[in-house]
Structures are given as structure tokens and as C-alpha cells.
Structure 1
Amino acid sequence: MITRRHLIASAAAATAGASLIRPFAAMAQNLTGDIYALDGTDTLSIHPISHASFVMTTPAGVIYVDPVGGGALYEALPAPDAILITHHHGDHFDPDTLAALTQRAGGPVPMITNPTVHEQLDPEVGAAATAMENGQNAELLGLPIEAIPAYNFTEERLQYHPKGRDNGYIIEVGGKRVYIAGDTEDTDEMKALEDIDIAFVPFNMPYTMTEAQAATGVGGFAPGVVYPYHYNDSDLDLFESLLSEQDVPTDVVRGTWYS
């Protein structure tokens, strides 16, 4: 398993073909983010924001994922060219934040949501929005995207995320496949994923899953890199330790969630 310590030590190798370039000092100073090499000379950058919100800068445009917290939280980053929303809970879907971002972008931006969120969108904000159901395929900014089921199956958690309602997403960017899990447990659908380069996986109780479930889920599909997110006070060290026991080639990246 490649550890974060190994990545820091080998950062100088990034220009020699390594897929992950980790500009830690720059990230802290100007929100450069974590930069990943794509096909050709293109790059993908990941900007963790807070909890389950983050921004991806891609060759096709800037994609906001589950933006909440108010428009001011995103002022240091470019305006969105597109928005992804996994489900309607307030830590993933905030109409006021969407309104502020839409205004900053100069009008409605392409948006993909699950059907529940789509029904709740303000017509002006959601004028360019598309609803996707589990298993459907579409494009966002010309990038292929698939809606992955995100749900609870443990009996005492069924009330939070019932099967069939909420989305995770796989989006393909320049030869990389990025999996955004949303709120879910370690479902069979998650563990059956293939060829995932970058993954965002939640764990916090009682809403999603335990550290052990998260490690089992990630171990099942063995992405190149996993960002733990939506973890609140969960034990990241425990998650990383349990994942390392599965002997999968996955790097755990503890993103700098700067708010």
C-alpha cells in the first residue's frame, strides 16, 4: 500500500510520470488543490471544501459537488460550470448556496441531481438541471457520468437513505474514473465497481457506515486513491489501518478540508 508519507517523500517523481502531484504548500496558500495527471498534458484538481462538499477543476470545466455552506465559502475558487448533487439532505443540498452560485455564474449552470432534489429545485436555479435515477448514464460538460445506487441496508439505518432514492456518481475525466459515493453503506454495487482511480467514500454513524464497513467497501473495489469524507468524528487512523490489512494498492488521502 502506498502511504501518504511515501507520496510526500516521492513528490519529486511527479514530473517523471507519477499520477498524483501533491503541492502541499501551494494548496495551503492559494487553494491549488491536489493535482492528478490525466491523458496527455491535462490535469484534474481536487479542492476539498467541507464535510461532503468539494470542487473539481477539469479540462471540461469546474464541477461543484454537493455545495453547501453559503456562496462566500467558494469565493476563492472559480465559479461553477456544472454542479452534482447526490441527495436532498441539508449537508448535501442547500438551495441558498445554489442560488448564490448560480448568480455568480451569471445564470443557471448544468446540474445533475437525483429525482428528489430535482423536484425541489427553484425553477430559475434548476433551469439547466437533469434528474438521474440509479443506473442511468448521461453526460456532464461532455464527460460521461453514471448514477450509482447509494443507500443503507442495515435495519436501524434504513430510515436515512432508502434504496433507490439517492445517487452516487462515477464521472470520467481524461482517462480517470472518479467515484463520488454520496451517503451509503458498503453496498454490493460499491464493492463491484471496477477501474476507479479516485474515490470519495463516507463514514459516520449512524447515517452511513462504520470505519470497518468503509474499509471493506473500499477494499472491495480497490481504487487508486480514496478520500475519506463526510466522516465527522470518525477515526481516520482506524479506517486506514483496517484498509491496509486488506493489502489493496489504495492510497488514503486525507484532504485538506479547509472549512
Structure 2
Amino acid sequence: MRVTKFGHACVRVQHQGSTLVVDPGSFTGVEAVSGADVVLITHEHLDHYHPDHLRACAAQIVTIPAVAERIRADAPELADRLRVVVPGEELDLGLRVTVVGERHAVIHQDLPTFDNSGYLLDDGATTLYHPGDALTPPGVEVDLLCAPASAPWLKVGEAIDFVRAVGAPRNLAIHDAIYSEAGLGIVDGHMQRLNGPRGLGWTRLGAGEDLD
């Protein structure tokens, strides 16, 4: 499994000729979807979903009903590429993919709530979990967690505890476009000091960089 981090919450996963891209949103360059066979979208917020990025590739679009409805409204010409999935569903997309969770984390009680489903990707040797905008554990052991580092719905203590709850030995920072470099450095330091001794590694990459 080759994992490449793109802007904000987007990762590209390649395995034996299959290329899956998760959440290429408005903070992500369109090059993230180049050559994609499948694009998976966790929820409808524009930092995770950008219709122009979907138009820029020929990939199948896998997502939940709320996002599919949004796509049909924003870009009806993409409707024939949609595959609508629900929590708990298992898919064969070149990797085994399991749909996890139903709701976006709460930003504030006075704001609307949204549907959100993460994706568990398994190539038979490595399991990767991308939760989208939620702190929903996958319910199984994973090798690599794409761990949100900054968000309006997240404080650093919650991010640390989510990494602990999932328990992956490797953790790749995602959802990292809204903090300054100084702010992200603070998150990195807390993760390394508080979770590193527990065997929970923490890595932050630039756009287009591969995870070693």
C-alpha cells in the first residue's frame, strides 16, 4: 500500500494498480485525483468535497446518501458515476473498503449536524482508517490512522485521545490546513510527548509527500 498525503484531509492510496483517493476538497490541489479509479467522500463540507475535482477525473465516486444528493444538485452530469454506500457496508474496490460511522463531530449545538462516514481500507497486509470529520473508532485494529490534527470541532486533547482509542502504531496527520505552522507544531509536540511513549507514532507530511 502506497499512501500519499495531499492538501488538508486528502490521501491517495495505491495498491496493485488500483488508486483510491479520499476527500479531495477545496484545500486540495486537483492533481490529487490524477489517475484515480475511485474517489471516496466522507461528507459534504467543501474542504472534503469539490465538484470541480470530481469533474477533473473519470473515477467512480463512492459516498453516502447526503453527499450523493449534494452532487446530483451541484454536478448532475456526475450522477452516473455515483455509488451510494451506508455504514457497515463492505466493498471490493481493488482494496477491501468498509464504511464506518454515521455522524459528523459536533461543531456547536446551535449549528446543523451532518452525516459523515469514514472508510477502512485493507490490502490484506495493511489496514488504513480515514474517519472524515468524526472521532468514531473503527472497531477493529488498524495499522495506520489518518488522524485529524485541527478543526473547528476538535481540541488537541480530543485528538490525542482519539489516537489512543484507535491504537494504531502509525498515525498520519490530516485535516491540517486551518492551523498555522506554529499551531501544528504544538499539536506535533503534544502527540509525540504524550502518545509516542505508548508506541503511537505521529507523522505530518506536506502535500504530495509519500508516507515511508
Q: Give the secondary-structure state (helix, strand or coil) at the position aligned to 1:74.
A: helix
Structure 2 vs 1, CA of residues 196 and 158 (structure 1 numbering), >3 Å: closer, same or farther? farther
1:238 aligns with 2:186: yes
1:148 aligns with 2:105: no
Aligned partner of 1:146: which letter? T
Q: Deviation at 1:120? A: 2.6
Match of 2:30 among 47, 51, 73: 73
2:146 maps to amino acid: F
Asked if 2 retains the 8 angstrom alpha-carbon contact of 1:82 and 1:140, the reply is no
SS of equivalent residue, structure 1 residue 46 = strand
Deviation at 1:166, TM superposition (A): 1.0
> So what's the TM-score if we normalise by structure 1?
0.67
Give how far 1:222 is off.
Answer: 1.2
1:211·1:238 contact (CA, 8 Å) conserved in 2?
A: no
Alpha-carbon distance change, 255 to 240 in structure 1, aligned in 2, over 3 angstroms:
same
Distance 1:141 1:60, change over 3 A: farther
Which residue of 2 is the match for residue 202 of structure 1?
Answer: 148
Letter in 1 for 2:144: I
Q: Kindly report which structure 2 residues correspond to 1:20-169, keeping only aligned pairs within 5 A, or say none.
A: 44-69=1-26, 73-74=30-31, 78-102=34-58, 109-121=59-71, 122-134=75-87, 136-149=88-101, 150-153=103-106, 156=108, 159=111, 161-162=113-114, 165-169=115-119
Contact 2:24 2:48 in 1 (8 A): yes
| Cα distance in 2 for residues equivalent to 1:214 and 1:180 | 14
The offset of 1:90, in angstroms, is 0.9
Maintained 8 Å contact 2:145/2:171? yes
Matching residue's letter, 2:70: Q
Q: Secondary structure at the match of 2:186?
A: helix
- Tell me how far apart the structure 2 counterparts of residues 157 and 175 of structure 1 sit (CA, whole Å): 41
**TM-score, structure 2 normalization:** 0.81
Structure-2 change in CA distance of 1:145 and 1:124 (3 Å): same
Q: 1:257 & 1:72 partners in 2: Cα distance?
A: 9
Give the equivalent residue in structure 2 for 1:228: 173
CA contact (8 A) 2:18 2:94 kept: no
In structure 1, the residue corresponding to 2:78 is in which secondary structure? coil
Query: What SS does the corresponding residue of 1:170 show, helix, strand or coil?
Result: strand
Matches of 1:255 and 1:179, distance apart in 2: 17
Report how far residue 66 of structure 1 moved. Answer: 1.3
Q: Are 2:26 and 2:49, in contact at CA under 8 Å, matched by a contact in 1? A: no
Q: Which amino acid aligns with 2:98?
A: E
Q: Secondary structure at the match of 1:166?
A: coil
Against the structure 1 CA distance between its residues 71 and 204, is the aligned structure 2 distance closer, same or farther, given a 3 Å change threshold? Answer: closer
More displaced 10-residue stretch of structure 1: 141-150 or 208-217: 141-150
Alignment-derived partner of residue 126 in structure 2: 176
Identify unmatched segments of 5+ residues in structure 1: 1-43, 103-108
Q: CA RMSD in A?
A: 2.7
Distance in 2, Cα, partners of 1:200 & 1:70: 17
Deviation at 1:242, TM superposition (A): 3.5
Cα 1:131/1:219, change in 2 over 3 Å: same
Amino acid at match of 1:152: A
State the structure with more CA Rg.
Answer: 1
SS at match of 1:214: helix
Amino acid at match of 1:48: K
* 1:119 positional shift: 1.5
